[in-house]
């Protein structure tokens, strides 16, 4: 008998299982120097729900930053992802890109653009991207982070005491941000907004 993992359409909300695997669903951390880091961490079932039967390669497009402004689930936040000319060959990384995000969905005036250097990698074990500010601009002092999708098999115990192996997709992201002179809403709120966008990227994998 296999463990029964509580989920909604494959998204694991089972507190016990998340705790056993040290899944930190969302955490805002204040760093020395004033920056803020937002970490997101999600487990998804691989045998039920919207990702059932899909390979890890399903996440290649979702983790690729060039697609973030095309996906219906995220384009209200990632409004424009533009590679800085001259563009590199499609599979040549790292890439320099201007990322424009809209901090208030109904307000174009809330858009902020940062020039970031993105790197991207995919193997049989993971799909990931990372980014860093290049160079810092007057408004933004720190903007660095990563997103990674893996497929893991772990032994877990369900609420009935049934113990056994379960295979999951695990999608994690981290973003450290700091704005100069409080020019935007507080950094923890900005980090949380970005975290919302990062979590929605899972929907771009289907």
Q: What percent of the chain clears pLDDT 90, i.e. is strictly above it?
A: 62
Residue range 9-34, pLDDT digits in tens = 999 999 999 999 999 877 888 888 88
CATH number given to 7-205:
3.30.530.20
Strands, DSSP E only, in 71-206?
78-83, 95-102, 111-122, 126-133, 140-157, 163-179
Averaged confidence pLDDT in the chain: 89
Instruction: State residue 166's pLDDT score.
Output: 98
Residue range 91-135, pLDDT digits in tens = 999 999 999 988 777 888 888 889 999 999 999 999 999 999 997
The domain ranges of the chain are 7-205
pTM: 0.89
104 DSSP assignment: S
């Amino acid at each position: 008998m296999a463990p029964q993992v509580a989920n909604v359409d494959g998204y694991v909300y089972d507190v016990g299982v998340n705790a056993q695997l040290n899944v930190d669903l969302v955490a805002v951390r204040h760093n020395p120097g004033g920056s803020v880091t937002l970490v997101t961490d999600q487990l998804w079932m691989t045998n039920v729900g919207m990702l059932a039967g899909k390979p890890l390669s399903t996440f290649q497009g979702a983790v690729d930053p060039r697609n973030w402004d095309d996906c219906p689930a995220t384009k209200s936040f990632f409004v424009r992802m533009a590679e800085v000319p001259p563009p590199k060959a499609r599979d040549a990384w790292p890439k320099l890109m201007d990322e424009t995000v809209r901090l208030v969905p109904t307000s174009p005036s809330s858009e902020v653009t940062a020039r970031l250097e993105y790197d991207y990698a995919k193997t049989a074990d993971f799909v990931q991207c990372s980014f860093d500010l290049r160079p810092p601009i007057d408004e933004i002092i720190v903007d660095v982070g990563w997103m990674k999708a893996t497929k893991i098999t772990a032994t877990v115990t369900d609420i009935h005491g049934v113990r056994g192996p379960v295979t999951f997709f695990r999608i994690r992201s981290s973003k450290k941000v700091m704005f100069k002179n409080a020019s935007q809403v507080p950094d923890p709120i900005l980090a949380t907004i970005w975290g919302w966008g990062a979590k929605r990227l899972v929907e771009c994998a289907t």
